[in-house]
Amino acid sequence: MIGVGNRWRSDDAAGLEVVARLRLALPEAVELLEREGEPTSLIEAWRGADAVWVVDAVSSGAQPGTLHRLDAAEHELPADLFRTSTHHFGLAEAVEIARAVGALPPRLVVFGIEAARLELGDTLTPEVEDAVGRAADAVRSEVLASAAAP
Summarize pLDDT for 8-67 with one digit per residue, the tens: 999 999 999 999 999 989 999 999 999 988 888 999 999 999 999 999 999 989 999 999
Q: 26-37, pLDDT tens digit by residue?
A: 999 999 999 988
Distance between CA atoms of residues 110 and 38, nearest Å:
16
| Mean pLDDT, the chain, integer | 91
Burial of 74 per CB tally in 10 Å (0-12, 13-18, 19+):
exposed
Q: Tell me the average pLDDT across 119-134.
A: 97
Has residue 147 been placed in a domain? no
- Does residue 86 surpass a pLDDT of 60? no
Above 90 in pLDDT, residue 135? yes
Residue 144 lies in a domain: no
Contact between 132 and 18 (Cβ < 8 Å): yes
* Structural domain includes residue 146: no
CATH number at residue 6: 3.40.50.1450
Which positions ≥6 away from 25 have C-beta within 8 Å? 136, 140
Q: Let me know if residue 57 belongs to a domain.
A: yes
Q: Look at residue 140 and tell me if it is in a domain.
A: no
What are the residues facing 2 on neighbouring strands?
33, 54
Q: Domain count of the chain?
A: 1
In a domain, 21, yes or no: yes
Phi/psi of residue 107, each to 5°?
A: -125, 120
Is residue 14 left, alpha or beta, with left meaning phi > 0 and alpha meaning psi from -120 to 50? alpha
Q: What is the pTM of this model?
A: 0.92
For residue 58, the enclosing domain spans 2-116+125-135
Could you tell me if residue 17 is inside a domain? Answer: yes
Which residues touch 50 (CB under 8 Å, ≥6 apart)? Answer: 105, 106, 107
pLDDT at 54: 96
**Distance (Å, rounded) from C-alpha 38 to C-alpha 49?**
18
Q: What pLDDT score was predicted for residue 108?
A: 96
Confidence bin at 87 (pLDDT 50/70/90) = very low
Q: Does any domain span residue 82? A: yes
